[in-house]
Amino acid sequence: MVKVLKVKKAEAEQVKKLVQSKGWLAKYHIGRTQRYVLIPLTEDADLAQLSAYGKIEERNLQPFSRRRSFTDYLDFLKPEERAHLRRAYDVVGDIAILEIPPQLAKHELAIAWAFKRANPQIKVVAVKAGPTAGQFRIRPLRILVGEQRLTTIHKESGVLMKVDLGDVYFNPRYGSERLRIANLVKPNEKILVMFAGVGPFALVIAKKCPKCQITAIELNPEAYRLMEENIRLNRFSNIKPILGDVSDIVPKLKEQFDRIIMVLPEKGWDYLDLALKKVAKKGVIHFYAIVHENEIKDALNRISNLVGQKLDKINFKKVRSYAPHINIYAFDIYLK
Ligand SMILES: C[S@@+](CC[C@H](N)C(=O)[O-])C[C@H]1O[C@@H](n2cnc3c(N)ncnc32)[C@H](O)[C@@H]1O
């Protein structure tokens, strides 16, 4: 018998990624019932945290025989070269994005072929060719192996998202964060997504909450066009996409919002004032910022000072690492 997390089918893929990223996925085959997926958990899994996503049960699952990883096909690397290998990678639809450090640049094609061999479902293997940059936050990528395209359809929490990684920002590592926020939403909420990209936050929330009204603002015309396409693709009627700059659009919006989501960690502080003017009584702002792990208290004080008397409480959590000792945090700012 092994402990499992029993989650709804539509959410399983996302929750599995979260469990895997924490190192809590036990080496057993995933179990399935008609409506649920049973994710096997290691002994040290944090059951309290995971119970937010489903029920913990004990089940009889088949132990897993290890699948070959791409690093198993790289025997030719010298031990000192192997030490530089980055095992973490991202998958968006059928595109894999690897990080290959300069020390391994001469082996990049061999590494990409090894990756494709170990993951035949992947059709394009690309490598990061620089940091995320510019106002549209686009990450330069170089295709190494496979089809010559950066357009794909990504599936997350039961939602289809068309993306073009050459022209828009998209990060699958926010998947469990999107699901966390969507699980907090209550029926009939009015929600504003600033910096919406191709719409992933708006789409996951729209799926969970058909009775919510979501307004989503994006500046990059190509991301906006894809957001419109994604709304049609998923047949949602509760998202209103707007093309433009948040600074111009938000002051013109007539309504107040129960929930505002601000995913622009590099510059979010510049827009917090704007969000505070549009948040309803007892509303919440999900604010994302890049903060050094020793400076969380300063960030909390800065938020408290900006919000003032209206502040009820702030919850925060690390979403992902940004640089050594520097992380992206989600601050859930609750108002009275
Ligand atoms: C970090 S990305 C987040 C995108 C999306 N929320 C996601 O999770 O994939 C920030 C997005 O904000 C857009 N953006 C940047 N400045 C903006 C502004 N002033 N007004 C509206 N959108 C903006 C960028 O084009 C980019 O798509």
What confidence tens digit (pLDDT) does each residue in 121-156 have? Answer: 999 999 999 999 999 999 999 999 999 999 999 999
Amino acid at 75: D
Distance 17 CA to ligand 1 centre (A): 24
Q: What is the model's pLDDT at position 112?
A: 96
Confidence band (pLDDT; 50, 70, 90) for 65? low
Inter-axis angle of helices 200-208 and 175-184, nearest 10: 40
Confidence band (pLDDT; 50, 70, 90) for 71? confident
Distance 52 CA to ligand 1 centre (A): 28
What is this structure's pTM? 0.83
Q: What is the model's pLDDT at position 22?
A: 87
Distance 38 CA to ligand 1 centre (A): 35
Residue 196 alpha carbon, nearest atom of ligand 1: 6
Q: Is the CB of 200 under 6 A from ligand 1?
A: yes
Is residue 168 over pLDDT 70?
yes
pLDDT tens for each residue of 209-255: 999 999 999 999 999 999 999 999 999 999 999 999 999 999 999 99
What average pLDDT does this structure show over 93-113?
96
Distance 226 CA to ligand 1 centre (A): 13
Distances (CA, A) of 280 to 3, 64, 143, 198, 267: 42, 50, 46, 26, 23
Q: Is the CB of 197 under 6 A from ligand 1?
A: yes
Confidence band (pLDDT; 50, 70, 90) for 281? very high
- For ligand 1, atom 7, the nearest C-alpha belongs to 197
The rounded distance, in Å, linking the Cα atoms of 242 and 228 is 9
Distance 196 CA to ligand 1 centre (A): 5
Residue 169 alpha carbon, nearest atom of ligand 1: 27
Confidence band (pLDDT; 50, 70, 90) for 67? low
> Probe ligand 1: pick from 195, 242, 243, 266, max atoms within 8 Å of CB?
195
Give yes or no for a contact between 69 and 55, defined as CB atoms under 8 angstroms apart. Answer: no
The rounded distance, in Å, linking the Cα atoms of 314 and 287 is 10
Amino acid at 22: K
- For ligand 1, atom 4, the nearest C-alpha belongs to 197
